[in-house]
Amino acid sequence: MRRLLLTGASGFVGVNLIPLLRNASFEVKTMGLTREGDYRLDLSTTVPRLQENFDVVLHAAGKVHTVPKSEDENEIFFNINYRGTMNLCRALDKSGIPKALVYISSVAVYGLDKGENITENYPLNGTTPYALSKIRAEQFLTDWCTYHNVKLSIIRPSVIAGPNPPGNLEAMINGIKTGKYFSIGGGNVRKSILMVQDIARLLPALIENGGIYNVCDSDHPSFRQLELLIAKQLKKRPPSSISLPIARGMALAGDLLGKRAPFNSRRLLKMTESLTFSNEKAKKILGWEPLSVLENFIIQ
């Protein structure tokens, strides 16, 4: 049985992965912010004292993408995503070098707001604090794993779906639940989404092969498809649709209100431009067939 260290065990991804990894015959030790973990600490400020060595490290710890409201919040991304990664590797230097390390990065590294079937060959043009912190973490891990002869896999998901998801899916669920969500222009925009279970399904092949992969389902569901799926599970009426001109007016008003506004031109762009990524490399090299989000996304 392979010994695996999971960082970020108290986050959305970690909580959902723990039972799946244990069922896949990994001996799992967890690192996170809650007392239930085997190692309770903040990687952004602490170099862990690991009591054992591991065959595999699944590095899921990180600060998720939000819009920072101050320079201090900008720095948090680097502290958690980049310095936290360095602190983890410093600990592994002392406790024992793993055979494989899998890092959960993000498609934010590409710096795109729109596009279709973006591949891993696209340049890393991300400029937000979140994107830059992920790029620097990827670069650090590439150098560290090369030096130590560790098989490195970097996966770049976009939105991750699963029970009680955070971020944009959480906002959509809460909006539909309270009747405060409106579809824009028919909801035809498509986004790439990954079921959280697929990270566990991918893990054995990632350990074996290494590499950098965009990971998402093959359907790239539209906003309207997601809206109808969520409304059905909540037993709510599908959200009403507003026209694009009205949405633009609301966005301009939000721009005037500044960072306090829940809706602005940047958010409108994300809701009216498709952004999808190619999963062909992962399917071909890893022999992976992703789960369909529309068939497997169950909210709780």
Over the chain (300 residues), the average pLDDT of each successive run of 10 is: 95 95 94 89 94 96 66 77 97 97 98 96 96 96 98 97 92 91 88 97 98 97 96 94 78 71 71 92 98 94
**DSSP assignment letter at 174:** H
**Greatest distance between any 2 Cα atoms in the chain:** 59
CA distance 195 to 107: 15
Which sequence spans correspond to the domains of the chain? 2-162+193-217+278-291
Among 188, 227, 27, 147, smallest CA distance to 139 is for 147
Distances from the Cα of 286 to the Cαs of 79, 210, 242, in angstroms? Answer: 32, 9, 42
In this prediction the pTM is: 0.93
pLDDT recorded at residue 280: 98
CATH of domain 2-162+193-217+278-291: 3.40.50.720
Helices (H), the chain: 12-23, 71-77, 84-95, 129-148, 167-178, 197-209, 223-234, 244-257, 265-272, 280-286, 293-296
